[in-house]
Amino acid sequence: MSLALDPAAQDLLFREARTANTFTDEPVTDEQVQAIYDLVKYGPTAFNQTPLRITLVRSPEARERLVKHMAEGNQSKTASAPLVAILSADNEFHEELPSLLPHFPQAKDMFFAERPVRESAALLNAALQAAYFIVGVRAAGLAAGPMTGLDFDGVQKEFLDDDHTPLMVVNIGKPGEDAWFPRSPRLAYEDVVTTV
């Protein structure tokens, strides 16, 4: 009663959405990924930094290179998912700020001249965008399998550069057989929310 979102959409995005561990072989197209991005790009970031970068791992050769950096328990699902994305934070996001924040272009030099400041801002804001991305995958009727069980240095060296910090790898597709572990409980409202 308190939510404005249609109950079917609530289920699609949250209640019935699960973290998939197996997938069918139905392909995930670039058009679907573009539709997901064009939806979730509106999720907010500080100063509109928008530091998330997405590397789609499509070719079998690239997939093989990625799988060897995944933790053992993540390897077979990463090898078999229709699409795999490496989500990273662009530590040089400030270069885009004058066009992303046209009403305050001075923000680039005023707040983000120093690399350590950019790194912590990029980490927080790209992580937020990663969450929007996962929900966007669900909005497309697909399941996401986010993973941080991986060799981050290895993934960075293999696919990225010093300016891009990997955050997670996400398997994407239609859920396959036995796709999920049993649903784990969540903390209750009263365990999480305090009012002062």
Ligand X SMILES: Cc1cc2nc3c(=O)[nH]c(=O)nc-3n(C[C@H](O)[C@H](O)[C@H](O)COP(=O)(O)O)c2cc1C
Residues near ligand X (CB under 6 A) are 18-19, 73-74, 146-149, 168, 180, 183-184
Cβ 122 to ligand X, closest distance in Å? 16
Cβ 88 to ligand X, closest distance in Å? 13
Measured CA distances, 73 to 23, 24, 170 (Å): 15, 19, 14
Measured from the CB atom, the residue of 103 and 183 that comes closer to ligand X is 183
Measured from the CB atom, the residue of 39 and 135 that comes closer to ligand X is 135
- The residues pairing with 175 across neighbouring beta strands, listed in sequence order, are 23
Cβ 1 to ligand X, closest distance in Å? 24
Nearest-CB residue to ligand X? 149
For residue 185, give the DSSP letter: P
Is 128 exposed, middle or buried, given 0-12, 13-18 or 19+ CB atoms closer than 10 A?
middle
Measured from the CB atom, the residue of 5 and 71 that comes closer to ligand X is 71
Q: Are 62 and 152 in contact (CB under 8 A)?
A: no
Measured from the CB atom, the residue of 107 and 168 that comes closer to ligand X is 168
Pairing of strands 143-147, 83-90: unpaired
Cβ 168 to ligand X, closest distance in Å? 5
Rounded to an integer, what distance in angstroms lies between the CA atom of residue 182 and that of residue 175? Answer: 14
